Amino acid sequence: MSKLVTIYGGSGFVGRYIARRMAKEGWRVRVAVRRPNEAMFVKPYGTVGQVEPVLCNIRDDASVAAVMQGADAVVNCVGLLTQNGKNKFDAVQAEGAGRVARAAAAAGIDTMVQISAIGADADAASDYARTKALGEANVLEHMPNAMILRPSIVFGAEDQFFNRFASMSRVGPVLPAVGADTKFQPVYVDDVAAAAVKGVLGEAHGVYELGGPDVNTFRELLQEMLHVVQRRRLILNIPFPIARLMAFGFDVLEMATLGLIKNPAATRDQVKNLRLDNVVSEGAKGFADLGIVPTALEAVLPDYLYRFRPSGQYAAIKDSAKNLRA
């Protein structure tokens, strides 16, 4: 019988790519999510019955243990960009990761991959970065041979970065940027998935920092996005002191309305993160150690941002028609 991997958060942005790759490897894939009825799109990743979404709450011991019964490996992709209700950074990213590792060790599973993030630091001012580090420590406590992946900002068709700013570029002449000079090393989501597969197959373990071939400032990333969507916009850098005040106001408004009005900008915790560069550390293991050549940003962005162009999918046809008239 084919081997089985349980992927926690397997219908999320990164998780779905790992699920697809593991199905291609011939494994059975159990996609553990809070709302399996909204994750049915993963089923066609494999043959009938090969990829199945199942109900799981990463905050519950019994739920986590139940969905890894019979598994040969586990992958934890569950993470938060913002806190909401009971889904707090500590509960999900620190305690949740540890819960998966503890249950895997108890079940006799030897292989685990944990998706973390560059910037994970137990002493960080940001709760996001702090709990990512605590999650890593909790995993290694129970699964010392686990693979820890720390990607920089991840891009791809379903990302919440380029899609968000491309959408904003359609409605106004200005794009606000908190920390326009902060550096990032964008990494393609399927390259992160390829690295995770190496861990599941037992070909690698330890900590790997994953970044693409180029390092760019926040401003440069927005400029590249604007070039792809064929729009001219003013990129306005918001100084950190002003950004903190704005974030505080929006956070208070969100709490006062019980989440009915969401913070449309950056949260206070995100502002703290944006003060620090998000690039691969010198001497860290990365894609080269895994034998993976990372994909360049410009090779992928046009494939999914074309819809934000003034002419959408017809932009290339209109450009070609202009050449004919000339």
Predicted confidence (pLDDT) per residue in 157-192, tens digit: 999 999 999 999 999 899 999 999 999 999 999 999
Residues of the chain with confidence (pLDDT) below 50: none
Side-chain half-sphere exposure of 286, counting CA atoms within 13 A:
20
Is position 31 within any domain?
yes
Report pLDDT digits (tens) over 10-41. Answer: 999 999 999 999 999 999 999 999 999 999 99
Which domain, by its residues, includes 128? 4-155+186-211+278-294
In a domain, 285, yes or no: yes
15 CA to centre of own chain: 9
In a domain, 265, yes or no: no
Cα diameter, the chain: 71
Supply the CATH number for residue 194's domain: 3.40.50.720
The answer to whether 154 and 192 are in contact (CB under 8 A) is yes
Q: How buried is 146 (Cβ within 10 angstroms: 0-12 exposed, 13-18 middle, 19+ buried)?
A: buried
User: What pLDDT, on a 0 to 100 scale, did the predictor assign at position 324?
Assistant: 67
The total domain count for the chain is: 1
The pTM of this model reads 0.94
Residue 179 forms part of a structural domain: no
